[in-house]
Chains A and B, each alone.
Chain A
């Protein structure tokens, strides 16, 4: 998945590209200020790009609003009402102002404000990406540790090849194959969608995350059905997260195992379990948290194709569907939201790193 794309580690700003911890120490508060500035500039850049895309799109927004039978006067009036007669920079400022207040215009397809639509579909994406990340962490971290400890053995090679396969398989195809085998042939899991029709609307949406809502309401039959639906798409997404997480875990772990303190611990006669589990792992999990946050961010975006294949009514499904119906407001609004979440998670992973690594504390 491309890095949809299957997240190749390449699409992510890897931990190795960050400044060394020592340098961060010296700028304490200054670093925070720079972080905020970077965030503001990146966010502005994001809006500039979507604004630009919105302007080059061949669809005339005025025509889309008034229809092609409107008179010249109506057309001009609509043009002024939409603010398209003003200079570009003024339009851009309005666009930024609106975006900051959460106003992305109205979706032509659903005639709801885009922000309302996104708030409705986002929990579905969040649910899928969260379950997938949990799976990826639970399996990927131990796999990476085992591969590092048994470096060069066949166990290591098998885990490496499994990871490479994860980087190489098209996610939409793997989803289809999963449906074919586990749903159509074996009937182990439920089909596309989040719930069977029978269970839709039984639980009052509180968070929008069906697994949480049904568990809180005590509706265990709904919970079981939701679980049967999410298990396949989440496993497939989780596999990509596993590929990335196990690879990074392995390389962090190898880096630690080469250090002298590990040799010292072994010479002291500590059991291997303590050397690996306490000494080495204690230093690995700090950079690992950043990796996990980054992989979570890519899953939120990489789920686009998975959502299509599994008819999962999330953000990716919404964006693609709007796109195929030339609903540009919805596409750009969705792009901005995904981009903002992406930037936010990157920032969060950076912050977590500072918080967890004692050397990076001011």
Chain B
């Protein structure tokens, strides 16, 4: 290690940071060190980075169009000339469809996370900070949604709104936010009586400002861990809706719908259903590994 790098390392790991920036960077560096020691979490990170890459440039890499049919080339086994993963019942290249489908999976996950995390955070922090009647009402509402079986509610909602990827996102979001509200509320309760909150209040900060500027930032790290851990569940719910024909509609190359498509050919042409299912599994596993690792890094207390 060059002296320069050793100096940087010492500066980052300093026990007595001279500035707020140094403390923050040091914290980040320490988290990074802890994260690097966890090979499973690193594997998860690599899988997720690959998914991002596929979503970004996958369609460019795909050797064939995901929707063009070639009935004379239907049900080719994996390894067939030009079709690494084989073709499906309509002669479409499975690899190309998977590469295009990565975008849909990522879009669903990101959309749900963007809707759910802020809503849960807002409801939880407001309930925890305000207390009293507002708290009771908001938490009863959370309990009601928490009591709902997730997939069944999503099913009923999609049935009412009509199948499609947007409605699947709405249905999943509506069934996913309650745990976030609970986490945010629990965190808020532990900090609402701290001195720095009292100080902010005495300086004349409004409740809205305190919630937004003081409380919310402190709840974010547990919410982020939870989002990462939930991503796998979101992917699986979306794929389940797709499998039932309630998510993305054909000919969209959504992975769950592709598995459903391959069900017809399962016994003689195993690869049609197997390949997209493997893709779902690997991506979900990646999010789970990453979430598990992040939790260990950001929350060294718990081992749950």
Contact = CB atoms under 8 A, between A and B. Distances in A.
Which bracket fits the contact residues of B?
A: 35 or more
A9 B233 CA distance: 10
Contacts of B96: none
B236 to A, nearest CB: 4
29 contacts: A2-B233, A3-B236, A6-B236, A10-B233, A17-B182, A38-B140, A38-B143, A49-B153, A164-B40, A168-B232, A168-B236, A169-B285, A170-B280, A170-B281, A170-B284, A172-B243, A173-B277, A173-B281, A176-B262, A177-B274, A180-B270, A248-B304, A300-B149, A328-B160, A331-B155, A335-B156, A338-B149, A338-B152, A339-B149
A339 B149 CA distance: 6
B247 interface: no
- Rank and list the top 6 A-B pairs by shortest CB-CB distance, nearest first: A173-B277, A45-B144, A301-B149, A2-B237, A168-B284, A168-B285
B303 A254 contact: yes
Interface string A43-59: 00110011001101110
A305 B263 contact: no
Contacts of A159: none
Contact of B229 (A1, A10, A165, A301): A10
Contact of A170 (B141, B186, B259, B292): B259
A130 B245 CA distance: 28
Contacts of B303: 251, 254
A40 B110 CA distance: 35
A77 B280 CA distance: 51
A319 interface: yes
B155 A164 contact: no
Interface string A315-328: 01001100110101
B156 A46 contact: no
A144 to B, nearest CB: 12
A304 interface: yes
Interface residues of A, number: 71
Nearest to B172: A2
B148 interface: yes
A91 interface: no
B285 to A, nearest CB: 4
B236 A319 contact: no
A50 B155 CA distance: 12
A8 B232 contact: yes
Nearest to B141: A45
Contact of A4 (B240, B280, B288): B240
Nearest to B239: A170
B236 A176 contact: no
Interface of A: 1-6, 8-11, 13-14, 16-17, 38, 41-42, 45-46, 49-50, 53-54, 56-58, 161, 164-165, 167-174, 176-177, 179-180, 184, 247-248, 251, 254, 297-298, 300-302, 304-305, 308-309, 316, 319-320, 323-324, 326, 328, 331-332, 334-335, 338-339, 342-343, 346
B159 A328 contact: yes
Nearest to A59: B160
Nearest to B140: A41
A35 B249 CA distance: 43
A42 B267 CA distance: 45
A193 to B, nearest CB: 15
Contacts of B40: 161, 164
Interface string B35-72: 00000100000000000000000000000000000000
A2 B240 contact: yes
Contacts of B141: 45
Contacts of A168: 232, 236, 281, 284-285, 287-288
A164 B150 contact: no
B244 interface: yes
A46 B277 contact: no
Nearest to A332: B156
A179 B259 CA distance: 14
A11 B156 contact: no
A319 B243 contact: no
Given A167-B284, A170-B256, 13 more contacts: A10-B230, A13-B182, A38-B143, A57-B159, A161-B40, A170-B240, A171-B240, A173-B273, A176-B273, A177-B274, A326-B159, A334-B152, A343-B147
Contacts of A165: 285
A346 B304 CA distance: 21
A176 B266 contact: yes
Given A5-B236, A57-B160, A179 B152 contact: no
B27 to A, nearest CB: 25
Given A167-B232, A167-B288, A176-B263, A10 B144 contact: no
Contacts of B83: none
A16 B299 CA distance: 15
B54 to A, nearest CB: 18
A179 B148 contact: no
Nearest to A165: B285
Given A41-B140, A57-B160, A251-B303, A5 B150 contact: yes
A244 to B, nearest CB: 12
A320 B155 contact: yes
Interface string B212-250: 000000000000001001101111110110011110000
A319 B303 CA distance: 38
B162 A58 contact: yes
Contacts of B274: 173, 177, 180
B228 to A, nearest CB: 11
B236 A4 contact: yes
B270 A304 contact: no
A339 B148 contact: yes
A151 to B, nearest CB: 9
Contacts of A254: 303
B146 interface: yes
